[in-house]
Amino acid sequence: MTRDICVVVPTIREYECLRAYAENAREHGFDLDRLQFVLVTEDFCDVDEMEAMLDEEGLSGEVFDESRREGWYRQHGVSEYEHVVPAASHAETSFGLLYMWTGDYEYGFFIDDDTLPHEEYDFFGRHMENLAYEGEMTEVSSDERWVNVLYQNVEDHDLYPRGYPYSAMDESVETDTTTVDDVVASQGLWTNVPDLDAVRILMDGDLQGQARTRLTADDYGEDFVAAEGDYLTVCSMNLAFRREVVPAFYQLPMDDNEWDVGRFDDIWSGVFLKRACDVLGTQIYNGAPLCEHNKAPRSTFGDLNNEVPGLELNEHVWEVVDSVEPEVPRTARTTEPSADDVGDDADSYRAVFEAMATALADGEFDYENGEFLNFVGEHMHDWLACLDALDATQVERGVAATDD
pLDDT in tens, 257-281: 999 999 999 999 999 999 999 999 9
- What pLDDT shows up at residue 396? 66
- What pLDDT shows up at residue 330? 52
Burial 371-387, CB ≥16 within 10 A → b, else e: ebbebbbbbbbbbbebb
- What pLDDT shows up at residue 176? 98
- 103 burial (CB, 10 Å; 0-12 / 13-18 / 19+) is middle
Query: Using an 8 Å Cβ cutoff, are 177 and 136 in contact?
Result: yes
Answer yes or no: is pLDDT of 337 > 50: no
Answer yes or no: is pLDDT of 294 > 90: yes
How far apart are alpha carbons 292 and 286 in whole angstroms?
16
Backbone phi and psi for residue 237, each to the nearest 5 degrees, phi listed first: -75, -20
pLDDT band (50, 70, 90) for residue 338? very low
Percent of the chain surpassing pLDDT 90: 88
How far apart are alpha carbons 317 and 28 in whole angstroms?
41
Per-residue model confidence as pLDDT tens digits over 148-193: 999 999 999 999 999 999 999 999 999 999 999 999 999 999 999 9
Residue 53, number of CB atoms within 10 A of its CB: 20
- What pLDDT shows up at residue 74? 97
pLDDT band (50, 70, 90) for residue 343? very low
- What pLDDT shows up at residue 17? 96
- Answer with the residue of higher pLDDT: 331 or 129: 129
pTM over cut 0.85: yes
Answer yes or no: is pLDDT of 1 > 70: no
How far apart are alpha carbons 204 and 189 in whole angstroms?
20
The answer to which of 95-109, 129-143, 382-396 has the lowest mean pLDDT is 382-396
- Answer with the residue of higher pLDDT: 339 or 302: 302
Q: Which of 232, 238, 223 lies closest to 292 in space, CA to CA?
A: 238
The answer to which of 300-304, 329-333, 368-372, 383-387 has the lowest mean pLDDT is 329-333
What CATH number has the domain spanning 5-403? 3.90.550.10
Answer yes or no: is pLDDT of 329 > 60: no
- What pLDDT shows up at residue 250? 98
The domain limits of the chain are 5-403
- What pLDDT shows up at residue 334? 37
Answer yes or no: is pLDDT of 138 > 60: yes
H helix intervals, 150-264: 154-157, 198-203
If you average pLDDT over residues 74-87, what whole number do you get? Answer: 96
- What pLDDT shows up at residue 97? 98
The answer to which of 235-239, 338-342, 356-360 has the lowest mean pLDDT is 338-342
Answer yes or no: is pLDDT of 333 > 80: no
Backbone phi and psi for residue 239, each to the nearest 5 degrees, phi listed first: -150, 140
**Please, what is the average pLDDT of the chain?**
93
If you average pLDDT over residues 340-359, what whole number do you get? Answer: 80
Answer yes or no: is pLDDT of 217 > 60: yes
pLDDT band (50, 70, 90) for residue 336? very low
- What pLDDT shows up at residue 134? 98
How far apart are alpha carbons 377 and 198 in whole angstroms?
26
- What pLDDT shows up at residue 384? 98
- What pLDDT shows up at residue 326? 86
pLDDT band (50, 70, 90) for residue 335? very low
Answer yes or no: is pLDDT of 344 > 80: no
